[in-house]
Amino acid sequence: MHRTITGFSNPTVKFLRSLRDKKHRRREKRFLAEGLRLLTDAREAGRLPEMLVLATGRQPHPLVTALIADVTAAGGDVVAMDEEILAKVTGKGNPQAVAGVFAEFDTNLANLDRTGSPIWLVAQALRDPGNLGTMLRTGDAVGAGGLILIDDCADPFSVEAVRASMGAVFTQRLAQARWDEFLAWLRDGAGAGRGQLVAASLRDAQDYRSAPYAAPCFLMVGNESRGLPAEYEDACDLRVTIPMLGKADSLNAAVAGAVLAYEALAHLRG
């Protein structure tokens, strides 16, 4: 059975709108994903929303019907509301007018299995949620295990990051850690599983095309404005440089991560 909501002041509407705000997401440990495509990607990855939100009075798309069945079977909540109210909750670009509330995933570094994938992406103090989501999307494409967020990054569960990930937030592992925690975890792995830490860098670096990448390979990019701190670069096993032939001295962070990730993939696939 659906619940139907008719007023803007309904507590569920307020709850949904509050999830656009990081503070509320942190408190609720829940996040919002909008649009049929994202929700279907989630479902195919075995992730169902705790709450599915729909517009009333629509002939549902077959994929929406499938979502309703699965969410109901899993004991989740299905809520219908006027399209006008839903538009206030989810914003534009949601023509099927569906959204879902998901429990945040575990982002504990200790629970990552680094041997599960040859490539991992690492972002340090990445501030733009679009860049963060794009890195998740690239990670999915190169068969990476996931994205490790170091220091104070944008929220991977923000609506913008979830949208830019194009569903990869549901398939890539996410971890969040301070630099010291990450380095201790990385160096604590035994033998071949220890992990090679690679920085995109301009200092004391070798050409990214001929560098000796080794799995599991952790490819790290830094903050959009400042890049990586020098001491973080110093701690890396490998510093690689991407040619910059023009006036600018850096690439977009998500672009740098992707160029490195595809290069490492070509080497590690053999």
E strands, the chain, in order: 3-5, 30-34, 51-55, 77-81, 98-103, 119-124, 146-150, 173-177, 196-200, 206-207, 217-221, 238-241
Bond preceding residue 11 cis, omega within 30 of 0: no
Q: Which is nearer to a copy of itself, 1 or 245 (CB)?
A: 245
Q: Of the two residues 17 and 22, which places its CB atom closer to a copy of itself in the complex? A: 22
Which segment (23-31, 139-147, 193-201, 215-223) binds a copy of itself by CB under 8 A?
139-147
> Quick check: 93 and 117 in contact, CB under 8 A?
no
Check residue 202 for interaction with a copy of itself (CB under 8 A).
Answer: no
Contact call for residue 244 and a copy of itself (CB under 8 A): yes
Kindly state whether residue 266 participates in binding a copy of itself, applying the rule CB under 8 A: yes
How many of the chain's residues bind a copy of itself (CB under 8 A)?
36
Query: Among 120, 91, 80, which Cα is nearest to 33's?
Result: 91
CA-closest candidate to residue 12, choices 42, 51, 64: 51
User: Which one of the spans 4-12, 56-64, 76-84, 137-145 is the region binding a copy of itself (CB under 8 A)?
Assistant: 137-145
Q: Which of 164, 169, 174, 199 binds a copy of itself (CB under 8 A)?
A: 164
User: Would you state the structure tokens that stand for residue 203, as one six-digit string?
Assistant: 């200092």
Rule CB under 8 A: is residue 215 a binding residue for a copy of itself?
Answer: no
Q: Which 8-state DSSP code applies to residue 223?
A: B
Question: Collapsing DSSP states into helix, strand and coil, what is residue 34?
Answer: strand
Q: Beta strand pairing status for 196-200 and 238-241? A: parallel
Smaller CB distance to a copy of itself: residue 144 or 177?
144
Q: How far is the CB of 233 from a copy of itself (least distance, A)?
A: 20
Which of 143/189 has CB closer to a copy of itself? 143
Residue in the structure block whose two tokens are 């549902």: 60
Contact set with a copy of itself (CB under 8 A):
41, 44-45, 130, 134, 137-143, 164, 166-168, 171, 209, 242-248, 250-252, 254-255, 258-259, 262-263, 265-266
